[in-house]
Amino acid sequence: MTFGSRLHHAVSERGPLCSGIDPHAALLHEWGLPDSVEGLESFALGATEALAAECAVVKPQSAFYERFGSRGVAVLEQVIATAREAGALVLLDVKRGDIGSTSEAYADAYLDPASPIAADAITVSPYLGFGSLEPFVDAARKHDAGLFVLARTSNKEAPEVQDARGDDGRTVTATMLDHLRHLNAGAAPLGSFGAVVGATIGSSSDDFAFNGPVLAPGYGAQGGTTADLPRIFGAALPNVLPSSSRELLRAGPSASAMRDAARRTNDELRALLAQGR
């Protein structure tokens, strides 16, 4: 099955919530854990074991593991394996973007099943030009994996690039979304090439509806609300994966509390989608 098909099935079964597994130093402290590899392992595996059985997608942010060097990456490997054993899809948040053979190497590392850190999908940056992502696109197609392309992010610096307009009057974001429409043409029930659009962006003139998933980070503790989602995404709402990390992780270290938080959030999101039908 393509990633888009697997994702469509997983969301139908479990709901649209994507859970971040982000071992911030501050969260380790809140859990009473040391900011060390041992603390990282306890936190990351505890959170994954609790949340991967409840969520369609889990999203580890690679940087929080990489900062501990090779031992931290070994924990990331365990997180990926544990999440998959629980039936969740793994979206590895790496935001890679380069050219030529370097992109090919990144694609092999994160998308080739022969790699110990291969995931179902990864985040990538198109801002060396969308064509620079071709090695990632080729690898995703070869391995039935997915990509989530940064389109409209919520950081305050984003408009400098993403809201810039070309000679045709379209924003850079709109251009990226058009590329995704092309990549997903004819895919059913859902394309494998998604966009990243912040759940906390203000108003936007861009149309986020296309035949692919939309990852919406910033939902929950970072300020994105259920009420914001229809306003931002409109017709794209059925394909949106609201992503929450701190909101869920702060319920830990109790596994049952994290599971309950994920269930409540998924129930809210299902209710929102039902209203729009």
Active-site amino acid positions: 95
How wide is the angle at C-alpha 214 spanned by C-alphas 165 and 224, nearest 5°? 90
> What HEC string does the chain produce?
CCHHHHHHHHHHHHCCCEEEECCCHHHHHHCCCCCCHHHHHHHHHHHHHHHCCCCCEEEEECHHHHCCCHHHHHHHHHHHHHHHHCCCEEEEEEEECCCHHHHHHHHHHHHCCCCCCCCCEEEECCCCCHHHHHHHHHHHHHHCCEEEEEEECCCCCCHHHHCCECCCCCEHHHHHHHHHHHHCCCCCCCCCEEEEECCCCCCCCCCCCCCCCEEEECECCCCECCCHHHHHHHHHHHHEEEEECHHHHCCCCCHHHHHHHHHHHHHHHHHHHHHHC
